[in-house]
Structure 1
Amino acid sequence: MTWIVYADGACAPSNPGPSGWGVVLIAPEGAGLSDHFGFIGPGTNQIAELTAAIEGLRRVPAGAAVELFSDSQYVVKGLSEWRSGWERRGFRNSKGEPVANQGLWKTLFALADARRVRPQWVRGHAGDVYNAYRAGRPRPIGAGAGAAYSGSHRGGPDRPRTRTVPGPPPRPQ
């Protein structure tokens, strides 16, 4: 029984700039789909992508198997390729510089360690129904962060929005 998390974050209209995150969470065996999103405030695309992955994993029970889909190579490679080197070097990258966004990475690693996470890269803006799913209508879930979240949303980093959506759309083969 595997949970599926699609996580996306973005800044708009510029990077850095106003940023937001979005998550589509699918319970095991298609038992339910929920949509979660929030406004971060000023940030970078990297911060927004990491925040989306963190928020997605927070919503999955500890110990669960999770497929974490992201269109961010930064998130996927950080979880699957770069982590061991960063930890071995005291959170320094291959150039010997401190890893950016260490606090977010450490939070993400702790959440991943408490679950069985398999990170998966999905090409952004390529028609994947869940990567494009956002608030019940097709649109990249992190796109337009400034416009989508700072105006009508009125939330903040401590006030994410959540809704349960009846039945998931069919998953592409």
Structure 2
Amino acid sequence: MDTDNTFKGRHIIIHTDGACIRNPGPGGWGAILQSMDGNIELKRKEISGYDSDSTNNRMEMTAAIKALEALKDNANPVHIRSDSNLLIRGMNEWLPGWKTKGWKNAGGKSVANQDLWEFLDRLSTPRIHWSWVRGHAGNKLNEMVDRLATAAARSPENRLFTA
């Protein structure tokens, strides 16, 4: 089991990933939601989905959105882990500035995927913590969500869930 021993009490750990066969092209996303009590996994749910025409970044963001929408626990801390620097830095660093600047980036251009950033902003609360994990580096659950996303991108029939 891939857990972080620093977490105490009840919490949710969400692992997310997105994939595209071509970029842009057919895409898939995957997420694993773990209900935890300290280091003990109480419950696990795997979800994934497909988009016939997307980009890798959109699928990374969609995985986080779909995972947050699937949450039934609205009280405990949530730890989202992704290998997407864009997603994690966007949520932890860039989002407030984009909103202040009218959805313009540091170069004065419109923020790409503004629709998804706005959706993530609406879903995110102070109990949600965003952290980056190195992809393809032996993190078992990150590798599992990579397989879910890749399988969904390759074939709509491989998805576990589509909302």
Please tell me the TM-score bracket, short chain as reference.
0.7 to 0.9
Unaligned residue ranges in structure 2 (runs of 5+): 1-9
State whether structure 2 residue 23 is matched by structure 1 residue 21: no
Contact 1:11 1:145 in 2 (8 A): no
Match of 2:99 among 87, 90, 96: 87
Match of 2:162 in 1: 160
Measured after TM superposition, the shift of residue 109 of structure 1 is: 1.1
Measured after TM superposition, the shift of residue 133 of structure 1 is: 1.4
Find the aligned partners of 2:99 and 2:159 in 1 and give their Cα distance: 38
What is the percent sequence identity of the aligned residues? 35
Q: CA RMSD in A?
A: 1.9
**TM-score w.r.t. length of structure 1:** 0.79
Q: More helix by proportion, 1 or 2?
A: 2
State whether structure 2 residue 84 is matched by structure 1 residue 76: no
The number of equivalent residue pairs is: 150
For the residue of structure 1 that corresponds to 2:65, the secondary structure is helix
State whether structure 2 residue 18 is matched by structure 1 residue 9: yes
Measured after TM superposition, the shift of residue 28 of structure 1 is: 2.3
Match of 1:59 among 70, 78, 85: 70
Find the aligned partners of 1:98 and 1:25 in 2 and give their Cα distance: 32
Q: What pairs with 1:1-150 in structure 2 (closer than 5 Å)?
A: 1-12=10-21, 14-29=22-37, 30-60=41-71, 61-113=73-125, 116-134=127-145, 140-147=147-154, 149-150=155-156
